[in-house]
Amino acid sequence: MDYKELCFQVQNIAHSTGNFIRGEQKKISEKNIEIKSVASLVTYVDKTAEKQIVNALKELLPEAGFVAEEGTAKSNNEKYTWFVDPLDGTTNYLHGLAPHSVSIALAEGDELVLGVVYEIGADEMFYSWKGGPAYCNEVIIETAKRSKSEDTLIATGFPYYDFDKVDEYISAMKELMQSTRGIRRFGSAAVDLCYVAAGRFDAFYEHALHAWDVAAGVFILQQAGGKTTDFSGGDNWLFGGEIVSASDAYFPEFYGIINKHLG
């Protein structure tokens, strides 16, 4: 498998889908919105974009399965699995806000081997493949070197369907508010992770995420020199709904704070 060549082909798919998503934004109205839950929305744009991505990826790798947000295709223990979020940040998109993104990752067995995140508003393509560095628009990116909380900027997201740990979540936020340069909540986990990879943020944590939200972003972050675990320090971040990500320099201190409150 030539992961590098495959990665460039996936970028073309992400870019094409991003153009479709961008072009449909001003056409959306309230009647097009379906409510999964109060804070989880979907439109024909999400569904059409996912179909476009899945069909294109099937041509690239017919033997692969899929873990996709809108359920266009499924996985059945294939050797290769695509993780697809056609529009990460749908609520931002519907309100005319950035960021929102296309997120695509590939796993071979249990190992992620490719990740592409296209942030549509800023026209930024983040990507990497097994054995390669991480890039943003053809420029190599690396995580920040800051190691102390007082020098860092943190990203997070808010749970929208599982509120069992809200009090602990707020407790962690309180400590981070008091000990860092600040916390940002942008609304696209895939983009947040890529911003950590690029050194814009130092760390990211969130609760109640899905595999398609984080697979590509985490892979890109790891290739850029970052580290990811679940809240207890384990490796169940892909399907476990808990994620702690940071630069290698800051991870020990950041993980300690998150684990204290949420582990």
Range of the structural domain that residue 211 is part of: 149-262
- 125/207 same-domain check: no
Q: How far apart are CA 107 and CA 66, in angstroms?
A: 10
Query: What is the CATH number for 253?
Result: 3.40.190.80
Taking alpha carbons only, the member of 189, 182, 130, 133 closest to residue 158 is: 189
- 134/159 same-domain check: no
Annotated binding site: 69, 85, 87-88, 213
- 195/70 same-domain check: no
pLDDT band for position 40 (cuts 50, 70, 90): low
Non-local (6+) Cβ contacts of 28 within 8 A are 43, 45, 94
pLDDT for the residue 43: 87
The DSSP output letter for 224 is: T
Annotated binding site for Mg(2+): 69, 85, 87-88, 213
- 118/243 same-domain check: no
- Whose tokens are 């983040």? That residue is 126
Higher pLDDT, 37 or 169: 169
Of 108, 140, 172, the last residue of a domain is 140
Q: What's the domain count of the chain? A: 2
Tens of pLDDT, residues 86-144: 999 999 999 999 999 999 999 999 999 999 999 999 999 999 999 999 999 999 999 99
pLDDT for the residue 19: 98
Tens of pLDDT, residues 58-78: 999 999 999 998 888 888 889
pLDDT for the residue 37: 59
- 161/201 same-domain check: yes
Please give the average per-residue pLDDT across 214-223, as a whole number: 98
Q: Residue 236 corresponds to which tokens in the numbers above?
A: 């169940």
Pairing of strands 203-207, 154-156: parallel
Strand, coil or helix: what is 74? Answer: coil
Q: How far apart are CA 103 and CA 211, in angstroms?
A: 11
- Kindly tell me if the per-residue pLDDT of 41 is higher than 60: yes
Q: Is the peptide bond before 133 cis (omega within 30 degrees of 0)?
A: no
Cα dihedral 185, 189, 195, 198, rounded to 10, equals 160
Tens of pLDDT, residues 183-210: 999 999 999 999 999 999 999 999 989 9
Non-local (6+) Cβ contacts of 74 within 8 A are 65, 66
- 79/179 same-domain check: no
CB atoms within 10 A of CB 67: 21
End-to-end CA distance of the chain: 38
Tens of pLDDT, residues 228-252: 999 999 999 999 999 999 999 999 9
CB atoms within 10 A of CB 188: 31
Please give the average per-residue pLDDT across 33-47, as a whole number: 76
Of 140, 163, 185, the last residue of a domain is 140
Which helix H or strand E contains 76, and what residues bound it?
none
Burial track 205-219 (b if 16+ CB lie within 10 A, e otherwise) = bbbbbebbbbbbbbb
